[in-house]
Amino acid sequence: MTHEHLVNRDKCKGCGVCVEACPKNVLALSEDVNAKGYFPAKQARPDDCVFCAICATMCPDVAITIREIADQAPTENKGGK
Ligand code: SF4
Ligand code: SF4
């Protein structure tokens, strides 16, 4: 089972709470605005995410979702780490 981390760009108000809350420093604010004119959060360092869901819990606008995805297709072997 793998996980997927999703930020709903247009729900996000760019408050930065999740960026501060992430223990792995995964998140950053985007450089381009969303539909509401905010700079939404994004995963700047997705490989470091441990899917702890702290960001999703902290977000006042519930803009972050962590999803479990069943492995179907063979996953790419990235090698190394
Ligand atoms: S799930 Fe955890 S590690 Fe991943 S971005 Fe959110 S707070 Fe950071
Ligand atoms: S805490 Fe929520 S609203 Fe604030 S920047 Fe993060 S995703 Fe956007």
What does the pLDDT look like over 16-31, one tens digit per residue?
Answer: 999 999 999 999 999 9
Strands 64-69 and 2-7 come out as: antiparallel
Instruction: Please give the model's pTM, rounded to 2 decimal places.
Output: 0.86
Q: How far is CA 62 from CA 1, 6, 9, 53, 70, in A?
A: 23, 11, 11, 11, 23
Q: 22: Cβ below 6 Å to ligand 2?
A: no
- Give residue-wise pLDDT tens across range 58-68: 999 999 999 99
Strand partners, 41: 29
- CATH (residue range 2-69): 3.30.70.20
Our answer on whether the CB atom of 64 is closer than 6 Å to any ligand 2 atom is: yes
Q: How far is the CA of 48 from the centre of ligand 1 (A)?
A: 8
Q: SS3 breakdown of the chain: % helix, strand, coil, rounded to 5? A: 15, 20, 60
